[in-house]
Amino acid sequence: MRWHGRGGQGAVLGASMLGSAAALYEGKYAVSFPSFGAERRGAPVQAFTRISDHAIRTRSQIYHPTTIIVLDDSLLSVVNITDGAQDGASILINTRKSAEQLPKMPASLNITTVDATAIAREFIGVAIVNTAMLGALVGATGIVGLDSIEKAIAGTLPEKIVERNIAAAQAAYRKIRGE
């Protein structure tokens, strides 16, 4: 999986929490890591998560992702988020727009949209969307269970914000699943 975000939105931490959910609570192998230079808050960043049933020996960037997570739809005009995407790849985009309203993307890709910003503001109180996007990702792909995401959030974030972030993940999950 390849994550696209802006510095401060939580792409790196989201990728890490997803890896923790898979490795600690699902019994899978996982690695996650960021890719950025001297960028600062607001600059485009990438992060990566690999999940497998077998030991992972590759530690390079993911050049041909099967899943792409976009935390900020303004990146669609700045970064080629579909670069290298495999046919049939799933793309999850945080936006108020529908998939049809977004810039044209290859028809071979499966686009899902969710307004994670609104969910984060409602449940967390700030527009840090990583936990909402984790819930949406699990709802769209089933890569890990929602309970594993909740445990990873609880094991990563400060106790005083855990409950709000879990609520955001649950709300995004329900939104994607149409519940």
Tens of pLDDT, residue by residue over 86-95, are: 999 999 999 9
Give the model's pLDDT for residue 38: 54
State pLDDT tens for residues 84-117.
Answer: 999 999 999 999 999 889 988 988 999 999 999 9
Give the model's pLDDT for residue 8: 81
Distances (CA, A) of 149 to 16, 108, 157: 11, 28, 12
State pLDDT tens for residues 115-124.
Answer: 999 999 999 9
- HSE-CB at 41 with a 13 A cutoff on CA atoms is 2
pTM given for the model:
0.93
H-helix segments, 66-158: 116-123, 130-141, 146-156
Distances (CA, A) of 85 to 63, 95, 106, 139: 8, 20, 10, 20
* CATH 3.20.20.60 holds for 2-177: no
Every domain of the chain and the residues it spans: 2-177
